[in-house]
Structures are given as structure tokens and as C-alpha cells.
Structure 1
Amino acid sequence: MNLRALLIAALFLPLAAPALAQDTPAPVARLDHVAIWSADMQKSIDFYHAVFGLTEFPSPFPPGGPRWMHLANGVELHIQPGRIEPVTQPRRVHMAIALASIDPVMAWLKAHGQGWSDIAGTPGAINATRTDGVRQIFLQDPDGYWIEVNDALKKR
């Protein structure tokens, strides 16, 4: 390529870049927070801290209101007070938490007498049938919400 062609390309490539970028649409939304309704907020705070290492931070509400915890990438877990009815969701309705390894979570669950299952509900089973090699388990938090825990971070 000669110098003149390089100069022309250098002048017009920035004009073409926005058109090239349109081939992949930009995300229009990002997950901000996940909210759960808790019967015992301190028990929930303690659980999410112990199992996943989440940390609480001040919420903009007065004492007795929702409590907030940090997940990753700016996503928050909001724990709302006042649940009195049992949570009755199927396992397929869940939030998923990705880690580099699910082994520490399984060790914590074993040490605290809490079980887990695979997606089919087989107690103590680890789902390893995903074609990407990710292993996953399903457990319930103190309120009965289902959580998928997977080792997808090992791939990222």
C-alpha cells in the first residue's frame, strides 16, 4: 500500500468505525440489584456473608428498612424486611452466583448441615452436564430462595 492510500485510510477509517460497531448492538441495560423478602434479615445477612463473602453497606433507608450487600460488578443484593409467608418457588426460579470453585461453598454447607442438589433435585449431586464444562449446585438461603452456585468464573 502506498503512502497516499494509507493517508486516505487513516482519514476515513474513523468515520467507518461507528458503522462497524453497529454490527454488535450495545447493551441497553445492566442488572442493578436483586431483592429478596426476608423473615429474618440478620440471618440472611449472616448467610450471604458466610457463604459468599458479601459485605453489607449502608442503604439510604432508616434503621429497620432494607439492608444492602455488594455482589460483583456493581450489582447489589437488597434484603427487604417483613416476609411472613413461606417462599414457594421452584428450583428453576433462582439467582445464580458464579465463583472460581464451588468446593468452598460445598464445604461450608457440609460443615453447617445444609444440603444442595443438582437442577433435577438429586440431593448432594453436582450438575456437570453443561457443554461448557461448568459445574453447578442448587441450594436454598434461610428464606427458601433458590441459588445456583457455579464455577463459571474459572473459565473467565
Structure 2
Amino acid sequence: MKKIILTIIIFNISIIHAQINLSYTDHLAIGVKNIDSTGEFYKNILELKELENPSANQRWFDFGDKFELHLVEGVHMEKKIKTNHIGLTVSSMTDMMELLKKKNINFESWNGKRNTFELRWDGVKQIYFQDPEGNWIEINQK
């Protein structure tokens, strides 16, 4: 009986030590049809720094805090719903909305009201717009 209890204890300890410890989110990969136009959107509209990568059919961008966006050409989903989106935070919603207007990028609230933000229940301002492939992007100001 003691051997069984000892075996169970050792087994449980080994499981605890073997558990995965995730430290941070590394990247988000999005499939696109046109790597050039979509890559230029993230580089010029969102002003993300482009990173070097080994593949001709991919473009990688730095979101900061060790988080990257990987655009992968050739893998694409036609249906895009707002629930599936990239969420980014800015310090000034007013400045972001002015930038999007200046660059002729349509944006809307969660409920689809054009050119205005949504005020979330916790006081966070939110707007949504799409990249050239139809992927939704949420911008919020906390």
C-alpha cells in the first residue's frame, strides 16, 4: 500500500513539473491573397515596423512587446466577421480617427455606426475597420 501511495505522489509531482508555462504571445498569422497590398496597409496605415523573414510569400511586422503579425500569402478565408479581429490600443482615439479619415479608411463602431467610436461598458473607446483582405482590426483607447 505504501508503494502505491508513493508511486501516486511521485507521478503527481512529475505531472506538476511537466506542465507548460507559457510566457508571452509570440505572433498572429493571417492568410492573405495579396501580400503586397496587405503588407503595405500594415506598414503605411498602421505604421508597423516591418521585420526581416526568410520567406518570399510572407511579411512580418512588429507590434511591440515581443508580439508580431505574420501575413502569409496563399492561405485565405473569404468570410470575415467582426468577432474575429486584431485588437490594438492607442493613446488617442481622436488622433487615430483623424489619421484613418486622412487616409480614406472607413471605420465604424461595433454596431456599425460609421465614423464614430463605441464606448464599451468599462469606459474603453473602440473603433473597427478592415485591411485590404477584409480582416477586422479593433482600435481601442483605455
1:77 and 1:45 map into 2 onto residues whose CA distance is 10
Give RMSD over aligned pairs. Answer: 1.8
Tell me the number of residue pairs that the alignment of Structure 1 and Structure 2 aligns.
122
Match of 1:57 in 2: 51
For the pair 1:82 / 2:74, whether they are aligned, the reply is yes
Alpha-carbon distance change, 36 to 92 in structure 1, aligned in 2, over 3 angstroms: same
User: Are the structure 2 counterparts of residues 114 and 103 from structure 1 closer, same or farther at C-alpha, using a change threshold of 3 Å?
Assistant: same
Q: Secondary structure at the match of 2:64?
A: coil
Report the TM-score when normalising by structure 2. Answer: 0.76
Larger radius of gyration: 1
Determine if the alignment matches structure 1 residue 129 to structure 2 residue 123.
no
Distance in 1 of aligned mates of 2:57 and 2:106: 30
TM-score, normalised via structure 1 length: 0.70
Gaps of 5+ in 1: 1-26
Task: Assess, with a 3 A threshold, how the Cα gap between structure 1 residues 67 and 28 changes in structure 2: closer, same or farther.
Answer: same
Distance in 2, matches of 1:54 and 1:67, equals: 11
Deviation sequence 1:11-65 (CA, Å, 0-9, x none): xxxxxxxxxxxxxxxx63421101111222121222112222211111133xx22
Q: What's the % identity of the aligned pairs?
A: 27
1:42 and 1:104 mapped to 2: Cα distance? 26
Confirm or deny: 8 A CA contact 2:90 2:96 kept in the other structure: no
1:1-156 to 2 correspondence within 5 Å? 28-61=22-55, 64-83=56-75, 86=78, 88-131=79-122, 133-152=123-142
